[in-house]
Amino acid sequence: MKKLAPKTTPFHECLAALNETGIWKHWSGYLAAPRYQYSTTSEYYAIRNSVGVFDTSPLFKYRITGPDTVRFLQLVMARDISQCQVGSAQYTCWCDPDGFVLQDGVILRVGEEEFWLTAAEPSLHYFRATASQLAFSGVTIEDISADYGILAIQGPHAFNVVSQLTGAADELRYFEMAQTEIEGCLSLISRTGYTGDLGYELWIPTAQAHRIWQCLMKAGEDYNITPIGLDALKMARVEAGLLLLDVDFRSSRFAWVDEQRESPIELGWRWMFRKLAEDKREFIGREAIETQLTERTNRWVTVGLNIDWHDYKRVHMEAGIMPPKHELYCESTRNIYRRGSKEWTYAGYATSFLFSSLLKKPIAIAKLPNELAKPGTEVDLEIAVIRKPRNVLAQVQRMPFFNPPRKTQVPPGGNSP
Amino acid sequence: MKKDAAYDAVVIGGGHNGLVNAAYLAKSGLKTLILEQRPLIGGAAITEELVPGYKFTTFSYALSLLRPEIVQDLDLVSHGLLVLPMTNSFQPGLNGEYLLLGPDSDVNFHEISRHSVEDAESYRDLSHLIDRVCHALKPLVDEIPPNSMSQDPADLAEMAALNQYLEDLPADIRAMLEKFTTCSAAEILDDYLECDLLKAQIASSGIIGTKAGPRSKESGLIWLFHKLGEYDGVQGEWGFHKGGNGGFTQVLARAFESFGGTIRTNAGVDEVIYKNGKVTGVLLGDSTRIEAPIVVSALDPRRTFMQLVDPADLPSDLVQAIRDFKFQGTASKVNFALSDLPKFPGLNGHRNAFTGFTNIGPSFDYLEEAFADCLAGRYSRRPFLDCCVQSTVDPDMCPPGKHIMSCFVMYTPYHLAESDWDSERENLGDTVEATLEEFFPGFRKLVEHREVVTPLDIERVVGLSEGNIFAGEMFSPQMFLNRPAPGWNQYRTPIAGYYQCGSGTHPGGGVMGGPGRLAAKQILNDHSTATSPAR
């Protein structure tokens, strides 16, 4: 019988040699390491104090080209792609006609009529079918997933490392990109990432992946460059307030009922539509989103929760145990109740929970109705203490939880405390 | 005589406890001034760039005991608190054997099994029991201890509550607590483990900074004390503050200033001024007089009671207790700038070995031999070393590709029988280098710069009497109810308005901040009682 072995990324052999734990997970059918060393915290702090490298190759990668590309993307994407100049990138989402989010992703404008896009779920057919329905003949969508591997180099020393490989990093501002040669290999660099820190992502042609990996490791050696796994990355992304598909929301495409679907407004992406009044595009989902914006008909908002440390400690100490803090990251649903009600009155739920080692407190990403979504609002978050439900005080907070100046600083500085 | 603006509170000494104390006072609204004799704040928690680009943690070098409440109460994260994990503990042996413990308990099980399969299992039992003992002690560590000498009904009730609390503890915790306070680390460890390499590694926590060997009965309590810390809730684990402990005290200073506090450096205090048993202010070395109804000494008990005030004005039993208080510093530091990582022959380039502590002291016999030198009045010919290659945890400690290594050195008695520290300073440095060369062949060639800090230097620079890093030995007669003296363990002094908040008070030494925090609690209690409207 033929074995259906998991796929491996172009960097797999290099990373496998560094995986001390031998543990692999599956991510979009590829082998991906949850962690490389026994301490996730050490990997996490590479992102916050030195430099971490994450293999993000399992993302789906598409190249969209042709004379109709801008007009096509203006209709498909929720944000106006014409606002994204050549050499820039945009974090955006695409919705269904009811204004529910299908996916989010980062799109890079490589040329006037050339865009590269990463997505968590396959979308080739969706984009092609949509182009055909909208009768755009001058747009070509190609799947280039197998042609490139992507490395995210993230952390205060990311620039010090990447600048040894390419001069292109010198000029890049936050969410800018450039095509560049690295060791004679045509690559693409963007100042983007999923950590909320200073960082870059490098698109490396698959055939050159091993060679460029070695160059990167050599450049990073003196800066303690550390391969980081999914667990450390996810901790960082919660602090950065970045949502994760299938954890903080799901694609409308595979939802059964609208209760499982969410609009960009409900996901906390109101900021994407700041200029909607001047924006005359008839993009997919516009009507529903506009109604939610003007009539506040969104059912909930995704917000940050700042969990009260003293209360968190108290409920555990009362049970006779130490409050769990170490490497505590959870993707399970936790209920939220209105504070002060005698009965537990359901208010919403948290999707991601993290005891932030950096911030020294528990934080969460949560869904709350409009009237409870204002920063400073107090709610009760249910947690399990020795398997029994206990409520702890939490306060609504604007995300991101952590937003260091170095993330957007030009030129990118080193690591001053 | 010059006279300066009046403050609500003046804190003498800008070490970590002075800073913590002052920050709590300032946060509560008191106009607070810190007076620091040196040009920089931080006390024994400083980082100095002795060679351009190389940062040395001159004295203290890691964090664990810091009370988590302080981080929250003073909002230290927003002022730059960044504690990196120190994940490994490396114990090189002689003859190429070693023990490398890390963050994963299953991996540790197999690593210990290489030496003893039974130890691998017993180590888990012992660790869990110690965790439970520490957890049980937390309420005592984080509260103002009762006054054992008072006949006041409220104090008597507190003593009774304390005894009840201890009596109510589970029997195994109580029994273990009894052992820790009365037995040596070696005695306790011998009950659980057989592997000398492992036992010596654990016992090193019982001798740090103390004139005690692993077989001295005082070592049990010192060991327990060092286990009271945590890293993100994992008990007994350590971290390294960004930029060293000097980075940490800078965070405290920023927090203090954000609450409106004022720091004055190069401002040594000559004496505390008081009249009719009540403090009125302080007098600086330059004759400046600063008035304040609250004066807090963050200095050690000898300086707090015997130098800043006239002992003749104090009760004789207190004066006697402070005279008897043992300092007898035994620790030194030798810090290195290195061109590369040291190499341990058996490890085959395993880089991660250094991301934590490296412990040079492979057996009880080794440690006792080192201690025997100390008892004879000389520094150990083959010292115990607690080393950290800090650049593996924080690459910003030195230029890329280079390394910084901090070595805590035992035993180096403050009183040398046949020499003095000014003559022996560099000889000590050579001895440490020779010891490291023995374990890491080729070490000498890596040394680009060296800093030697003897107990005399600690006393001269920081002001800690006899260079005791804990501001006085942490022997059980000098702890808890008796720190620094029976009846004077609640941060007050016989002079109204004059308080103590240094490591010579409960809970004790280490970069803990507990004394500073609890003293502030006491001061603010007293202050609110004094200023509340008459009933």
pLDDT digits (tens, 9 = 90+) for A271-309: 999 999 999 999 999 999 999 999 999 999 999 999 999
Reply yes or no on whether the pLDDT at A415 is more than 60. no
CB neighbours of A5 closer than 8 A, spacing ≥ 6?
none
Nearest to B16 by CA among B66, B51, B61: B66
Smallest CA–CA distance, residue A165 to chain B, in Å, is 16
Q: Where in chain A is the domain with CATH 3.30.1360.120?
A: 12-59+146-239
Q: Which residues in chain B are contacts of A359 at CB distance < 8 A?
A: 77
Nearest by CB: A310 against B72, B77, B84: B72
- Using a CB–CB cut-off of 8 Å, the residues of A that contact B are 37-39, 41-42, 45, 48-50, 157, 160, 221-224, 309-310, 313, 321-327, 355, 357-361, 414-415, 417
Reply yes or no on whether the pLDDT at B349 is more than 80. no
Residue type, B448: E
CB neighbours of B526 closer than 8 A, spacing ≥ 6?
B492
Nearest by CB: B242 against A41, A49, A327: A49
Q: What is the mean pLDDT of residues B140-154?
A: 97
Smallest CA–CA distance, residue A43 to chain B, in Å, is 10
A29 three-class SS:
coil
Q: Is the dihedral of CA B275, B280, B282, B288 positive or negative?
A: negative
Q: Which residues in chain A are contacts of B400 at CB distance < 8 A?
A: 160, 222-223
Distance CA B85, CA B234 (A): 11
Between helix B16-27 and helix B244-258 the angle, nearest 10°, is 20
Q: What is the CA radius of gyration of chain B?
A: 23
| Cα distance from N-terminal residue to C-terminal residue, chain A | 57
Nearest by CB: B233 against A50, A222, A326: A326
The predicted structure's pLDDT at residue B535 = 43
Q: What is the mean pLDDT of residues B174-194?
A: 97
Q: Which residues in chain B are contacts of A417 at CB distance < 8 A?
A: 80, 82, 242-243, 247, 250, 396
Q: Which residues in chain A are contacts of B395 at CB distance < 8 A?
A: 50, 157, 222-224
Model confidence pLDDT, tens digit, residues B357-413? 999 999 999 999 999 999 999 999 999 999 999 999 999 999 999 999 999 999 999
Nearest by CB: A38 against B80, B103, B401: B103
Alpha carbon separation from A246 to A223, A242, A303, A351 (Å, rounded): 34, 13, 17, 10
Distance CA B224, CA B181 (A): 9
Strand partners, B346: none
Please give the CATH number for the structural domain made up of B3-44+64-82+242-325+474-531: 3.50.50.60
Q: What is the mean pLDDT of residues B312-326?
A: 98
Alpha carbon separation from A196 to A192, B182, B436 (Å, rounded): 9, 51, 42
Smallest CA–CA distance, residue B146 to chain A, in Å, is 22
Distance CA B296, CA B495 (A): 11
Distance CA B240, CA A13 (A): 33
Give this prediction's pTM: 0.96
Q: Which residues in chain A are contacts of B131 at CB distance < 8 A?
A: 322
Model confidence pLDDT, tens digit, residues A167-205? 999 999 999 999 999 999 999 999 999 999 999 999 999
Q: Where in chain A is the domain with CATH 2.40.30.110?
A: 301-397
Q: Which residues in chain B are contacts of A324 at CB distance < 8 A?
A: 233
Alpha carbon separation from B131 to A54, A205, B87, B179, B426 (Å, rounded): 35, 51, 18, 15, 41
Between helix B105-113 and helix B117-141 the angle, nearest 10°, is 130
Nearest to A389 by CA among A335, A311, A330: A335
DSSP A176: B
Residue type, B321: A
Long-range contacts of B135-141 (CB under 8 A, 24+ apart): B135/A321, B135/A322, B135/B235, B136/B169, B136/B173, B136/B177, B137/B177, B137/B224, B137/B228, B138/B228, B139/B165, B140/B165, B140/B480, B141/B67, B141/B228, B141/B507, B141/B514
For residue B186 the two structure tokens come to 């070696």
Reply yes or no on whether the pLDDT at B95 is more than 90. no
Q: Using the beta-carbon criterion (under 8 Å), do B232 and A50 form an inter-chain contact?
A: no
Smallest CA–CA distance, residue A51 to chain B, in Å, is 10
The number of CA neighbours under 13 Å toward the Cβ of A162 is 34
CB neighbours of A49 closer than 8 A, spacing ≥ 6?
A155, A156, A415, B82, B84, B242, B394, B396
The predicted structure's pLDDT at residue B348 = 72
CB B496 within 8 A of CB B153: no
Q: Using the beta-carbon criterion (under 8 Å), do B233 and A221 form an inter-chain contact?
A: no
Q: What pLDDT band is residue A417 in, cutting at 50, 70 and 90?
A: very low
Nearest to B386 by CA among B356, B415, B428, B427: B356
Nearest by CB: A49 against B234, B355, B394: B394
The predicted structure's pLDDT at residue B200 = 98
Nearest by CB: A223 against B72, B85, B400: B400
Q: Using the beta-carbon criterion (under 8 Å), do B87 and A42 form an inter-chain contact?
A: yes
Q: Using the beta-carbon criterion (under 8 Å), do A309 and B103 form an inter-chain contact?
A: no
- Interface-testing mutation among A325, A354, A416, with chain B (most B C-beta atoms within 10 A): A325
Closest chain A residue to B82, measured at CA: A358
Q: Using the beta-carbon criterion (under 8 Å), do A358 and B394 form an inter-chain contact?
A: no
Q: Using the beta-carbon criterion (under 8 Å), do B235 and A42 form an inter-chain contact?
A: no
Q: Using the beta-carbon criterion (under 8 Å), do B392 and A310 form an inter-chain contact?
A: no
Q: How many CB atoms lie within 10 A of CB B286?
A: 10
CB B79 within 8 A of CB B71: no
Q: Using the beta-carbon criterion (under 8 Å), do B231 and A324 form an inter-chain contact?
A: no
User: How buried is A389 (Cβ within 10 angstroms: 0-12 exposed, 13-18 middle, 19+ buried)?
Assistant: exposed
Q: Using the beta-carbon criterion (under 8 Å), do A357 and B77 form an inter-chain contact?
A: no
Model confidence pLDDT, tens digit, residues A109-164? 999 999 999 999 999 999 999 999 999 999 999 999 999 999 999 999 999 999 99
Q: Which residues in chain B are contacts of A309 at CB distance < 8 A?
A: 72
Model confidence pLDDT, tens digit, residues A205-249? 999 999 999 999 999 999 999 999 999 999 999 999 999 999 999
Q: What is the mean pLDDT of residues B162-177?
A: 97
- pLDDT above 90 as % of chain A: 96
Domain A301-397: give its CATH superfamily. Aminomethyltransferase beta-barrel domains (2.40.30.110)
Distance CA B17, CA B512 (A): 8
- pLDDT above 90 as % of chain B: 95
Nearest to B439 by CA among B344, B363, B358, B366: B344
Q: Using the beta-carbon criterion (under 8 Å), do A355 and B394 form an inter-chain contact?
A: no
Alpha carbon separation from B371 to A416, B376, B382, B383, B384 (Å, rounded): 42, 9, 10, 8, 9
User: How buried is B138 (Cβ within 10 angstroms: 0-12 exposed, 13-18 middle, 19+ buried)?
Assistant: middle
B152-171 residues labelled b (16+ CB within 10 A) or e (exposed): eeebeebbeebeeeeeebee
User: ipTM of this predicted complex?
Assistant: 0.95
Distance CA B436, CA B335 (A): 12
Q: Using the beta-carbon criterion (under 8 Å), do A38 and B107 form an inter-chain contact?
A: yes
Q: Using the beta-carbon criterion (under 8 Å), do B396 and A37 form an inter-chain contact?
A: no
The predicted structure's pLDDT at residue B533 = 57
Q: What is the mean pLDDT of residues B157-180?
A: 97
Closest chain B residue to A416, measured at CA: B396
Closest chain B residue to A362, measured at CA: B232
Q: What is the largest CA-CA distance in chain A?
A: 68
CB neighbours of A343 closer than 8 A, spacing ≥ 6?
none
Q: Which residues in chain A are contacts of B107 at CB distance < 8 A?
A: 38
Q: Which residues in chain B are contacts of A326 at CB distance < 8 A?
A: 231-234
Q: What is the mean pLDDT of chain A?
A: 96
B243 touches chain A (CB under 8 A): yes
DSSP A206: G
CB neighbours of B52 closer than 8 A, spacing ≥ 6?
none
Cis peptide before B507 (omega within 30 of 0): yes
Specify the residue for token string 């009840």. B164
The helix or strand, by DSSP H or E, that contains position B525, with its residue range, turns out to be: helix B514-531
Query: At B409, phi and psi to the nearest 5?
Result: -120, 130
For chains A and B, count residue pairs whose Cβ atoms are closer than 8 Å: 81
List all residues of chain B from 67 to 106 with a beta carbon under 8 Å from chain A: 68, 71-72, 76-77, 80-82, 84-85, 87, 102-104
Reply yes or no on whether the pLDDT at B1 is more than 80. no
Please give the CATH number for the structural domain made up of A12-59+146-239: 3.30.1360.120
Q: Using the beta-carbon criterion (under 8 Å), do B233 and A222 form an inter-chain contact?
A: no
Smallest CA–CA distance, residue A308 to chain B, in Å, is 10
CB B292 within 8 A of CB B281: yes
- pLDDT above 70 as % of chain A: 98
Domain ranges of chain B: 3-44+64-82+242-325+474-531, 103-234, 327-462
Q: What is the mean pLDDT of chain B?
A: 96
For residues B6 and B193, the model is more confident at B193
For residues A4 and A276, the model is more confident at A276
DSSP B492: B
